[in-house]
């Protein structure tokens, strides 16, 4: 598994079930969503703009993609619809194809641009660590088969010691998005 | 990380939040439980009996333990209390300390004795695969810190192709079980 294979496997439409454990008050949040992941070109203006925001040579970008989602959460006792979209640009380390940076135009823990560090472990898990001003996010994504993947996300305090929220997504590929 | 370290870290009392995703009907199940893990001795009669059930030399057993739990699930729209206990006996491979078998006197997917294959990955994740008559179970457990661990469990069809249930537990150590 490398970033090329990982992005290629991720492209498509996914139906997601996500459970968030808000640990301090032992709360369960249930989220269902549909996720679309489409390839972008390294030459797309939005990709080049994001690289320039981080003062990174756009020639280093590999396999940029756009992720969009829409869904519902039962947070706050009512079904709240939500939607969003973000651009993600991997910048592989030229010396090690298993690690790199991931640029994002909107972060997960805070809605500002972010840059995370990724690595792909021996067993094919994509591990992403992102430091924000007031939090740290750690995410693991792995494929059980080409049509089913799992994602575990942690939001930690900025020192990285305490885990605030642990969440788990099971994502099933929608083979015919029209259905 | 090896089996010795893994079992030692696991000993104690844990407060667990578990979410199960029943994929076919996109159902969320929420489970809260308290888990106690205590060390057994290799010389305990129940450990020796379990080894003999599988015709394994009890001298090969290392760090056997007992796991007990009690909790509540919201399955079937009502809060159902449940409890259970099981003995687990690791049988490390004499040639490779990172892999081995795990004997259990009551399985997870079916309530009969089971024997699973475990391995500990490069990044310290304990991975257990157990084949049952009509299902396969795959479980990953890893520590975020000594007082917080995560567990992802999959129940697959016996051919291993389809995932039926994906579940996620976040487990926080109870530092003072009296509180």
B154 in contact with chain A, both atoms CB, cutoff 8 A: yes
Q: Which strand (E) or helix (H) includes residue B3? A: helix B3-10
Say if residue B5's pLDDT is above 90: yes
Q: Measured between CB atoms, does A166 come within 8 Å of chain B?
A: yes
Selected for mutation to probe chain B from A145, A170, A171 (highest B CB count within 10 Å) is A170
Higher pLDDT, B75 or A32: A32
The predicted model gives A92-110 an average pLDDT of 84
Span A104-129, pLDDT tens digits: 987 555 566 789 999 999 889 999 99
**Is the pLDDT confidence value at B161 over 90?**
no
A133 pLDDT band, cuts 50/70/90, is confident
> Left if phi > 0, otherwise alpha if psi is -120 to 50, otherwise beta: which for B76?
left
DSSP secondary-structure letter at B112? S
Of the candidates A166, A170, A144, the one whose C-alpha atom is nearest the C-alpha of residue B142 is A166
In a domain, A40, yes or no: yes
Identify the band that residue B14 occupies on the pLDDT scale cut at 50, 70 and 90.
very high
pLDDT band with cut points at 50, 70 and 90 for residue A62 = very high
pLDDT range class, residue B7, cuts 50, 70, 90: very high
ipTM: 0.89
A178 part of a folded domain: no
Residue B160 has pLDDT above 60, yes or no: yes
The label of the residue with tokens 């399955």 reads B75
Contact A144 B154 (CB under 8 A): yes
DSSP A109-173: SSSS-EEEEEEE-TTS-EEEEEE-SSEEEEEEEEEEETTEEEEEEEEEETTS-SEEEEEEEEEEE
pLDDT in tens, A67-89: 999 998 887 666 778 899 999 99
Task: Name which of B26, B168, B172 is nearest A168 (Cβ-Cβ).
Answer: B168
Predicted pLDDT of residue B44: 97
Asked if A68 and A51 count as a contact pair (C-beta separation under 8 A), the reply is: no
Contacts of B17 in chain A (CB under 8 A): 21, 23, 26, 28
Q: Is B119 on the interface with A (CB under 8 A)?
A: no
Of A95, A89, A92, which is closest to residue A67 (Cα–Cα)? A89
- Give which of A119, A146, A155, A166 to mutate to test B binding, by max B Cβ within 10 Å: A166
Chains A & B: contacts with CB separation below 8 Å: 66
Does B159 touch chain A if contact means CB atoms closer than 8 Å?
A: no
- Alpha-carbon gap, residue B72 to B29, rounded angstroms: 11
Backbone angles phi, psi at A76, to 5 degrees: 65, 25
pLDDT at B110: 56
Give the residue from chain A lying closest to B25, CA to CA. Answer: A17
Domain CATH code at residue A153: 2.40.128.20
Contact A170 B32 (CB under 8 A): no
Structural domains counted in chain B: 1
Distance in angstroms between the alpha carbons of the first and the last residue of chain A: 31
A179, two tokens? 């259905």
Mean per-residue pLDDT, B68-85: 83
pLDDT in tens, A1-44: 899 999 999 999 999 999 999 998 889 999 999 999 999 999 99
- The span from the CA of B35 to the CA of B18, in Å, is 12
CA A166/CA B169 separation, integer angstroms = 9
pLDDT more than 90, % of chain B = 75
Q: Residue A91 has what pLDDT?
A: 97
For B46, the enclosing helix (H) or strand (E) is helix B45-53
Q: Does A172 touch chain B (CB under 8 A)?
A: yes
Residue A148 lies in a domain: yes
Q: CB of B17 within 8 Å of any CB in chain A?
A: yes
**Confidence grade of residue A90 (pLDDT, cut at 50, 70, 90):** very high
Inter-chain residue contact A166 with B170, CB threshold 8 Å: yes
Average confidence score pLDDT of chain B: 90
Q: How far B19 CA lies from chain A's nearest CA (Å)?
A: 6
pLDDT tier, B172 (very low <50, low <70, confident <90, very high otherwise): very high
Does residue B52 surpass a pLDDT of 90? yes
User: Would B178 be classed as within a structural domain?
Assistant: no
B152/A163 CB distance under 8 A: no
**Distance, in angstroms, between B21 CA and closest chain A CA?**
7
How many angstroms separate the Cα of A71 from the Cα of each of A84, B25, B67, B144? 9, 17, 38, 29
User: Contacts of residue B152 in chain A, CB cutoff 8 Å?
Assistant: 150, 152, 168
Question: Would you state the pLDDT for residue A177?
Answer: 59
Which H or E run contains B166?
A: strand B163-173
Q: Give the whole-angstrom CA distance, residue B86 versus residue A88.
A: 45
DSSP B16: E
Tell me the per-residue pLDDT of B80-122, one tens digit each, with 9 for 90 and over.
788 999 999 999 999 998 999 999 987 555 566 789 999 999 8
pLDDT higher than 90, residue B50: yes
pLDDT at B126 over 60: yes
Residue A179: predicted pLDDT: 53
On whether any CB of chain A is under 8 Å from the CB of B99, the answer is no
For A30, the domain range is 3-173
């Amino acid at each position: 598994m490398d970033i090329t294979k990982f992005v290629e496997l991720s492209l498509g439409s996914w139906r997601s079930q996500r459970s968030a454990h808000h640990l301090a008050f032992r709360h369960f949040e249930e989220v269902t969503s549909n996720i679309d992941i489409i390839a972008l070109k390294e030459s797309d203006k939005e990709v080049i703009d994001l690289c320039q925001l981080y003062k990174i040579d756009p020639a280093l970008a590999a396999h940029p993609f756009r992720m969009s989602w829409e869904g519902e959460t039962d947070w706050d006792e009512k079904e709240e619809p939500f939607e969003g979209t973000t651009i993600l640009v991997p910048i592989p380390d030229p010396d090690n194809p298993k690690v790199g940076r991931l640029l994002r135009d909107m972060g997960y823990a805070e809605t500002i641009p972010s840059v995370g560090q990724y690595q792909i472990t021996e067993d094919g898990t994509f591990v992403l660590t992102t430091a924000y001003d007031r939090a740290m996010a750690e995410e693991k994504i792995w494929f059980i088969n080409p049509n089913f993947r799992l994602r575990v996300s942690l939001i930690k305090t900025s020192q990285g010691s305490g885990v605030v929220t642990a969440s788990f997504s099971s994502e099933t590929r929608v083979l015919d998005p029209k259905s």
